[in-house]
């Protein structure tokens, strides 16, 4: 009886836990689709900014062209997860950041969970930012990273590059100076009309390019993080389903045993009554 009650209690707990994992799975799937839908538009924006930079550079005919970087220490940004249930996502990104980081390079961690793991590993952090938990928050996060990179002579980003099917590649990309560097457009180019000095226009377009490049990397990592979480939740759901099946069989076996025992008791009692009557006769 006690064993049956214990199994019944465990079944109830596992069913509640499964509901939680299924809710997290649905949330991760929804956010993954948000990221996927946003990526096409952001990549198109990068292409537009690159073309505008090419045209604007052709306008700078006198003096040195504005440079998109300063003389400050280089910055390495590792885009990790804000929350857990992502498997080895953070570890893989931090492994790449640790392997890439050069002496004197400032390390900035995006994602609270990733920053916690980095601190446990003994990384010296120059800055940290919470990772966006919804796709609309990614552009705002890109803007928030600007103070971390102002004046840097180089900025690189380590992130999860999303691949169809829920996989991702740990990738690093230089965003400052741009890779590849935009080149002045020549040939049959019709120079655009501008309302500001060409050098100032180029400088502003470089800022917009940095913003767009950061946004792409952040959005790809956002999609990759939720793809990793979706896989973990699906695996957890399958594991719980297997355990529920085993426990359900055990509960059924115990119920069958109880019924069998009751039947045996009834039969044994009937036989005893029958035997007693035969003796009395």
Phi, psi for residue 78 in degrees, rounded to 5: -110, 120
Tens of pLDDT, residues 23-57? 999 999 999 999 999 998 999 999 999 888 888 88
Residue 34's pLDDT is what? 94
Whether residue 258 sits in one domain with residue 217: no
Residue 177: asked if its preceding bond is cis (omega within 30°), the reply is yes
Whether residue 272 sits in one domain with residue 181: no
Whether residue 144 sits in one domain with residue 161: yes
> Which tokens hold the place of 217?
């990397």
Q: Measured between alpha carbons, how far apart are the two ends of the chain, in Å?
A: 40
82 and 111 Cβ atoms separated by less than 8 Å? yes
Q: Is the pLDDT of residue 204 over 80?
A: yes
Residue 75's pLDDT is what? 96
Q: Token match 């990068």: residue?
A: 46
Question: Mean of the pLDDT values across residues 246-259?
Answer: 80
Whether residue 211 sits in one domain with residue 93: yes
Whether residue 75 sits in one domain with residue 49: yes
Whether residue 121 sits in one domain with residue 93: yes
> Which tokens hold the place of 162?
């999303």
Calculate helix-pair angle for 112-120, 89-100, nearest 10 degrees. 60
Q: Mapping DSSP to helix (H, G, I), strand (E, B) and coil, where does residue 50 land?
A: helix
Paired strand residues for 76: 107, 156
Q: Mapping DSSP to helix (H, G, I), strand (E, B) and coil, where does residue 107 land?
A: strand
Domain that holds residue 94: 22-232
Residue 243: asked if its preceding bond is cis (omega within 30°), the reply is no
* CATH number of the domain enclosing 200: 3.40.1380.10
Cα separation, 22 vs 221, whole angstroms: 22
pLDDT above 90 covers what percent of the chain?
53
28 and 229 Cβ atoms separated by less than 8 Å? yes
| Residue of 53, 160, 148 whose CA lies nearest to 108 | 148
Whether residue 260 sits in one domain with residue 182: no
Whether residue 76 sits in one domain with residue 193: yes
| Residue of 85, 94, 157, 99 whose CA lies nearest to 120 | 94
Tens of pLDDT, residues 81-116? 999 999 999 999 999 999 999 999 999 999 999 999
Tens of pLDDT, residues 59-89? 877 766 677 778 899 999 999 999 999 999 9
Q: How many domains does the chain have?
A: 2
Tens of pLDDT, residues 145-176? 999 998 899 999 999 998 877 778 999 999 98
Residue 250's pLDDT is what? 84
The side-by-side arrangement of strands in the sheet containing 127-129 is 127-129, 106-110, 75-79, 155-163, 167-176
Paired strand residues for 175: 178
Whether residue 271 sits in one domain with residue 148: no
Whether residue 132 sits in one domain with residue 222: yes
Whether residue 268 sits in one domain with residue 227: no
Tens of pLDDT, residues 169-192? 999 999 988 776 666 665 555 666
Paired strand residues for 169: 161
Say how far residue 45 (Cα) sits from the centre of its chain: 22
Whether residue 246 sits in one domain with residue 190: no
Higher pLDDT, 213 or 272: 213
């Amino acid at each position: 009886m006690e064993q049956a009650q214990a199994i019944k209690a465990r079944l109830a707990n596992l069913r509640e836990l499964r509901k939680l994992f299924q809710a997290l799975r649905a949330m991760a799937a929804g956010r993954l689709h948000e990221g996927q839908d946003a990526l096409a538009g952001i990549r198109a924006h990068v292409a537009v900014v690159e073309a505008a930079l090419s045209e604007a550079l052709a306008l700078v005919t006198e003096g040195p062209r504005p440079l998109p970087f300063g003389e400050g220490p280089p910055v390495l940004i590792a885009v990790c997860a804000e929350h857990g249930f992502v498997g080895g996502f953070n570890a893989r990104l931090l492994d790449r950041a640790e392997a890439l980081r050069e002496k004197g390079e400032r390390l900035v961690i995006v994602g609270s969970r990733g920053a916690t793991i980095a601190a446990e590993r003994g990384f010296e952090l120059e800055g940290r930012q919470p990772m966006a938990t919804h796709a609309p928050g990614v552009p705002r996060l890109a803007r928030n990273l600007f103070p971390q990179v102002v004046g840097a002579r180089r900025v690189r980003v380590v992130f999860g590059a999303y691949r169809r099917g829920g996989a991702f590649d740990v990738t690093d990309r230089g965003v400052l100076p741009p890779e590849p560097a935009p080149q002045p457009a020549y040939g049959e180019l019709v120079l655009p009309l501008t309302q500001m000095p060409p050098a100032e226009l180029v400088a502003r377009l470089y800022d917009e390019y940095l913003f767009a490049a950061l946004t792409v990397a952040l959005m790809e990592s956002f999609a990759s993080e939720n793809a990793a979480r979706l896989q973990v939740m699906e695996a957890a759901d399958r594991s719980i389903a297997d355990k529920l099946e085993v426990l359900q069989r055990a509960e059924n076996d115990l119920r069958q045993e109880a019924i069998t025992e009751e039947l045996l008791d009834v039969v044994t009692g009937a036989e005893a009554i029958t035997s007693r009557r035969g003796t009395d006769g």
